[in-house]
Amino acid sequence: MINFKELAATYKTPLYVYDLDYMSAQYEELKSAFKGRKSIMAFAIKSNSNLSVIKHFATLGSGADCVSIGEVYRAVLAGVPNYKIIFSGVGKSDDEITQAIKLDILYINVESEAELGRVELIAKELGAKCRISIRVNPNIDPQTHPYISTGLHDNKFGVEIDTAKRMYIKANNSEYLDPVGIHFHIGSQLTELKPIYESAEIVADLVRSLQNIKIELKFFDIGGGLGVKYKDETTITPYDYAQAILSTLKGLDLTVICEPGRFLTANGGYFLTKVLYEKRNGDKRFVVVDGGMNDLLRPSLYKAYHKIEAITESLTKLSEADVVGPVCESGDFFAKGYLLPTLEHNDLLVIHSAGAYGFGMGSNYNTRGRSAEVAIKGKEVKLIRKREEFEDLIALEKEYLDN
């Protein structure tokens, strides 16, 4: 049982809290689901990029799925072996590609013919041979929020089957490219198994087609996106997920790479925020807290639901309230019409399921310092990122003030 009041008193609010034991259990459950097949779990750093969190997964044997060279550097710094690092993303710059090749990571995940050409040219300039994978867009509806759908032709990610095949032939004939993997990722917060199975089947058939023309791949990268329960979602079990994928790979000797993020971290994270006061505009009740949309953007961006737990002595009847922050935007809210008791100054709200896409999507909007982060492992509580102060926010500007 986490003592949120004690944590808030010690580290102040707003505050992120991560339960590393929960994250370990999620990792082991997903890893064991692929038992009997060579596999690599590559933690999706975009879901939670704190160095201590990345290091925690690295100690469990995890690799890293990265979508910027900054995330690649984070992975290396946190102890992820270079040979377990994957670099994905639609818009890699020449400098990012150069650095990734020099780091000799597992592979660069290529998302367009144009990008393949840039990777080949840069590898040639470096006198290197670059391992690549190609991200295939199977044009399958993932049945998730449109902002986190990535597997349709309407989305910017990946290439269609015919284009992918053409790219593999080019890469296989290149002196500077080594096609070792194939990748697909149809979206995030997936709660339906059928689209995952259908996508894997399409991509596995492409692997067989490539084998027929003597292009032998080693890695079958299934991306991530396994959904979690925020409210009342019916989720997919890791076992069923793994069996659906593996059933499409009969006769193929491939190492499966899985890139979980939200599944590992979301429900192991909590955002603590303190009540400043209540106010009413007519019949409308607002609970104003010290955390804002710059700290936790998901409700404002996606209208995402997060369970909110009130830690208070109040015994009043529950009534609807909008939970809002101090940021100067009407979109600054954590919940609308949420049932809460009457709350007093310094009462605490615990916003659940905040371990994924919480702190990482934060900003300094309104010149607000980002919150501290703490991690719990066993009985040990550890500060893993200090709270930003005003001097931190102006450090890159101050020296130019009088220029």
Binding residues for pyridoxal 5'-phosphate, by number, are 225, 259-262, 357
Per-residue HEC secondary structure of 311-366 comes to: ECCCCCCCEEEEEECCCCCCCCEEEEEEEECCCCCCCEEEECCCCCCCHHHCCCHH
Do the beta carbons of residue 27 and residue 243 sit within 8 Å?
no
Task: Dig out the tokens for 183 from the structure.
Answer: 């990748």
Distance CA 278, CA 175 (A): 67
> Which distant-in-sequence residues (6+ apart) come within 8 Å of 81 by Cβ?
63
Q: What is the pLDDT of residue 315?
A: 85
Query: Can you identify the CATH homologous superfamily of domain 4-15+267-394?
Result: Lyase, Ornithine Decarboxylase; Chain A, domain 1 (2.40.37.10)
Q: What is the pLDDT of residue 187?
A: 84
Distance CA 201, CA 193 (A): 12
User: Is-catalytic flag, 66?
Assistant: no
How far is C-alpha 339 from the chain's CA centre?
Answer: 29
Distance CA 91, CA 113 (A): 12
Do the beta carbons of residue 57 and residue 23 sit within 8 Å?
yes
Is 34-260 in CATH node 1.10.3720.10? Answer: no
Q: Torsion angle, CA of 113/119/124/127, rounded to 10 degrees?
A: -150
Q: What is the pLDDT of residue 155?
A: 56
The neighbour count for residue 146, using CB atoms within 10 Å, is 11
Distance CA 342, CA 320 (A): 10
Q: What is the pLDDT of residue 24?
A: 98
Long-range contacts of 162-169 (CB under 8 A, 24+ apart): 163/113, 164/134, 164/136, 164/206, 165/206, 165/209, 165/210, 166/113, 167/110, 167/113, 167/116, 167/134, 168/134, 168/210, 168/215, 169/213, 169/215
Q: What is the pLDDT of residue 143?
A: 54
Distance CA 311, CA 304 (A): 22
H helices of 34-131, in order, are 51-59, 69-77, 94-103, 113-126
What secondary structure letter does DSSP report for 120?
H
Q: Where are the domains of the chain?
A: 4-15+267-394, 34-260
Helix, strand, coil shares of the chain, percent, nearest 5, are 35, 25, 40
In this prediction the pTM is: 0.94
Residue 72 identity (one-letter amino acid) = V
Binding residues for substrate, by number, are 262, 298, 302, 329, 357
Q: Which of 119, 184, 131 is closest to 157 using CA atoms?
A: 184
Task: Dig out the tokens for 103 from the structure.
Answer: 């780091």
Among the options 66, 130, 258, 328, which is catalytic? 328
| Tens digits of pLDDT across the chain (403 residues) | 899 999 999 999 999 999 999 999 999 999 999 999 999 999 999 999 999 999 999 999 999 999 999 999 999 999 999 999 999 999 999 999 999 999 999 999 999 999 999 999 999 999 999 999 999 988 776 554 444 344 444 555 679 999 999 999 999 999 999 999 999 998 888 898 998 999 999 999 999 999 999 999 999 999 998 999 999 999 999 999 999 999 999 999 999 999 999 999 999 999 999 999 999 999 999 999 999 999 999 999 989 999 999 999 988 899 999 999 999 999 999 999 999 999 999 999 999 999 999 999 999 999 999 999 999 999 999 999 999 999 999 999 999 997 6
Binding residues, by number, are 225, 259-262, 298, 302, 329, 357
